[in-house]
Amino acid sequence: MSFFEQCKQCSVRLDGGSGVLFQPMTEDYTYILTAKHNLYNESEEKSIDDIKYILYGEDEPKNILKKYEHSTLDIAILKIEKIDSESPYKEFEQPNNGDIFKFYGYPKNRRDETEKIKYFDLKVGDIRFSEIVADNESYYNQDDVIGCSGGGVFKEDGDNFYLVGIECRMDAQSTSEENNTRLRFIFIEAFDEIIENNRSELEPLYPPYMNDFTLLIGNIFFLTGMEETETRLIQERLKFIAQNLSKKLKPIDIKTKFDKELLIEGLDINEFSNKELWSMYLEFLVISIFIDSCSPISIEAIEDIYKKRKFVFAKASNWIDLKEKILTSNLSGVNKNGNVIICCDGDRTPTRLEIKSKSLVSIANAILPENMRVDSSIGKIHEDLKFRHIHIVQKQMIDDYDEGVYDSATATNIEGIIKNEINKAFN
């Protein structure tokens, strides 16, 4: 789906205004993020039954379940029944002057037309506390923007799209002839305050899988290139292990504990919502269970694992090109002779799976000591640590398929075979 279609599909009409569908960290309900003033007629507050929303491409008004308003800012969260649609990610990076975004809303003068939604090109011009002032790149008069209040301000990033904020008002308010070249929107981070004040009823603005590893089990250990019978037997055992550890451990807890330590140096913090990050982290945990003969069902257990191997998430078309960023990432906690496991979105199944020490010498020698984040036991980083891609395990299994390793595999001995293969990959 194109960025244009993504933005349209999550934009809703909300009575005389607009809003944005957002899937929080739950499978039980969905949010509409909007401007608070859309919930009022003049100064009179609307009742729950009087607030209706209409999905993109539909005409049937629907009811909300509950509303939650910010105490001072012009924003609100509406809880509605679960909607199965593509949701934007939350934008974590504060906008900067000159940033370019798209703003989508439902002008009243288009609501009788076939295409009711309209988008505007925005350029950030000023940041004033919680409100961000942006310029319309084209001329629009008042009639073009009435009804867009509460609409979403979006950013495109590859295949993903991010909700940057919610529009709260135009600078020009008086006549239909007045030029609306500037509008104001509220950065999405402000919605966290509403959620924090209603913590027992609202979930954070993260995807549902951040609260449940089981939603990612279908996205791990693909084993492409093996016959279906062997693949199914191996995957069933690997996913059984993943299912068990998912009962005690959540991605959001890992993110809270390790935060930027999970990311390669310089990677955008928006990647915390990346499905590939948490899918590969689940693979990392399952691999560690086999190597260490343990069940890492606690944060404390992961800290022990990090002494031997540490997870680092990256994003690139060729992970080998990231050598300097890998060496300057936070590698503290890993003991001498430990492994740094690189998990790379965009290069998930590379052919080259290990960075040899000799190829790191010149890069390591050029990095200032204060830019190295390693334990005191590490003398020469390129010699004392091993740098491997997480696909090294699956590649070992796939390569050994032709050697007949799985010819005698059964449901009772497959776990031992998997353990041998994983240990072989790391020897």
List alpha helices for 209-335, DSSP H. Answer: 228-246, 251-258, 275-292, 299-305, 323-327
Q: Are residues 296 and 411 in the same domain?
A: yes
Q: Same structural domain for residues 69 and 89?
A: yes
Share of the chain above pLDDT 90, in %: 84
Neighbours of 157 (CB within 10 A): 13
Q: Range of 319's domain?
A: 208-425
Does residue 94 belong to any structural domain of this protein? yes
DSSP 74: S
pLDDT tens per residue across span 173-215: 544 445 557 899 999 999 999 999 999 999 999 999 999 999 9
Can you give the pLDDT at residue 297? 83
Q: Percentage of the chain surpassing pLDDT 70?
A: 97
Residue 279 has pLDDT above 90, yes or no: yes
Note whether 156 and 291 are same-domain residues. no
**Residue 52 pLDDT more than 50?**
yes
**Token pair listed for 143:** 């009639």
**Pairing assessment for the beta strands 66-69 and 76-81 based on DSSP bridges:** antiparallel
Contacts for 104 with CB less than 8 Å, ≥ 6 apart = 7, 8, 11, 18, 117, 118, 119, 120, 151, 152, 154
Of 197, 218, 248, the residue that ends a domain is 197
Q: Which of 22-36, 101-115, 167-181, 289-303 shows the highest mean pLDDT?
A: 22-36
Tell me: do 253 and 398 sit in the same domain.
yes
Would residue 202 count as lying in a domain? no
* 49 and 184 together in one domain: yes
Domain boundary among 197, 227, 242: 197
Indicate if 190 and 62 belong to the same structural domain. yes
Specify whether 345 is located in the same domain as 258.
yes
Contact 264, 321 (CB under 8 A): no
Do 323 and 346 reside in the same domain of the chain?
A: yes
Q: Do 187 and 307 lie in a common domain?
A: no
Residues 216 and 168 in one domain: no
228: buried, middle or exposed (CB in 10 Å: 19+, 13-18, 0-12)? Answer: exposed
- pLDDT-based confidence at residue 138 (cuts at 50, 70, 90): low
| pLDDT tens track for 38-47 | 999 988 999 9
Name the strands in the sheet holding 62-63, side by side, starting at the edge strand that comes first in the sequence.
62-63, 52-54, 11-14, 17-22, 29-34, 76-81, 66-69
- Based on the structure, what is the number of domains in the chain? 2
